[in-house]
Chains A and B, each alone.
Chain A
Amino acid sequence: MLKGRNLVDPRDFTTEELDSIFAFTKEIINRPEEFAHLCDGKILGTLFYEPSTRTRFSFEAAMLRLGGKVIGFSEPGSSSVKKGESLADTLRTVGSYADIIAMRHHKEGAPQYGAKYCPVPLINAGDGGHQHPTQTLTDLYTILESKGSLNNLTIGFCGDLQFGRTVHSLIKAMSRYENIRFILISPIELQVPEYIKTEVLGQHGLNYVEGERLEDVIGELDILYMTRVQKERFFNEADYIRLKDSYILDLRKLESAKDDLAILHPLPRVNEISMEVDADPRAKYFQQVKNGMYVRMALIAKLLGVR
């Protein structure tokens, strides 16, 4: 039962609870009109202490498509937060007006702290470089939709794996499924943090390898999760020049990939996936964006207990 619960960490829900969210997501995608009034009379509060137009629009569109309404702010400068109101008081106040709250905060742990004071369900819409659990739900749903299962997969993560919170969250989430193999492709300087290797990959005894070049392993992958790798993240120019092309996905590299590979990316993209890939049936990242809204619809409905 998810009614009244919060979503702060990607592992707050059991895999069975995730299954129920994904099953409902699928129902909504198949018959959206049937759920257009599911949240009539309900209000979503969106508290974005740090601007993130995409994520906020995704939440707001989700609530509007369920027949609900939305209140909130998109930068704290325009609210009482600017006057020095504490997070606890802001959540108590907005929680008196709204039935559910989605919060993006620049400080890590803010949603966990805030949840203690929030009288209504609180959804973490991203806290610093820490967690982004609704992106993880989106990623999991897109994998499930593409592959039919979350088990028995070889998943490649490519790009900046050190600072990418979506990568950390998805590794944590996928570590709970059966027979998962991870291939982690990044420059040496941008490998996943040590705590992910020991706490998550090490503890579950998961099968993972690390490498530097995408073209060496692309043929083994069922899922390819691309992230941005910026020039300024490299420690020296020579490494950047040596590796930069191997982190740009183009049709030539895809020649050796499986026909049923699914390419994901949390977006926005800069140049790590060439535009020519967009038309390839293996490109799932725009579908992923759409799924993000439907998954949030299912999540909002479940936490409100209307479904």
Chain B
Amino acid sequence: MLNITSISKGLVIDHIKPGLGLKIFKYLKLDEADFTVALIINAISEKHGRKDIIKIENKIDIDLAMLGFLDPNITVNIIEDEVIIDKINLTLPDTVENIIECKNPRCITAEERDITHKFVLINRDKGLYKCQYCDQIYS
């Protein structure tokens, strides 16, 4: 059993869908970090079989809406003095901005510079979002 040093003050992003850990790691620019960071891939999970985990020895600001959009099953644990002081369960956000791009080539987002790519949740059960400009559905 692989043992990863626990952290004393920082964040643990847990229950990440296997394979998504590296993507989140890069999105949070943790490859550029000057503090201790651990990316654990394919850890054994009691609930889901396998999972990825990211441990961050620092209190950084992370976009919880983005994390929830990528994987609503993620939990974020906040650590102080080696104990979990807060556990945040994520959900699909009502809107996402500048995370995904509209695939409709006829959409205004394909042409205009500096435009915010904004998607609105239209069906929570199916995880369906639609482009706020052209109504194209993203799933």
Binding site for B on A (CB under 8 A): 86-88, 105-110, 112-113, 127-130, 195
Contact B133 A108 (CB under 8 A): yes
B100 part of interface (Cβ distance < 8 Å): no
Chain A residues in 8 Å Cβ range of B98: none
Contact A107 B114 (CB under 8 A): no
Chain B residues in 8 Å Cβ range of A87: 108, 112
Q: How far is the CA of A183 from the CA of B115 in the complex (A)?
A: 40
- Number of contacting residues on B, CB 8 A? 18
Q: Which of A86, A88, A107, A195 contacts B107 (CB 8 A)?
A: A107
Are A108 and B134 also in contact (CB < 8 A) when A128-B106, A129-B106 are? yes
Interchain residue pairs with CB less than 8 A apart (17): A86-B112, A87-B112, A106-B106, A107-B111, A107-B112, A108-B104, A108-B107, A108-B108, A108-B133, A109-B132, A109-B133, A109-B135, A112-B132, A112-B133, A127-B108, A128-B134, A195-B135
Binding site for A on B (CB under 8 A): 104, 106-115, 131-137
Where chain A touches its partner, the secondary structure class is mixed
Chain A residues in 8 Å Cβ range of B135: 108-109, 130, 195
Contact B106 A113 (CB under 8 A): no
Contact A113 B104 (CB under 8 A): no
| Nearest neighbor of B137 in chain A, beta-carbon distance | A195
Contact A107 B106 (CB under 8 A): yes
CB distance from A172 to the nearest CB of B (A): 11
Q: How far is the CA of A17 from the CA of B109 in the complex (A)?
A: 31
Contact A113 B112 (CB under 8 A): yes
CB distance from A32 to the nearest CB of B (A): 37
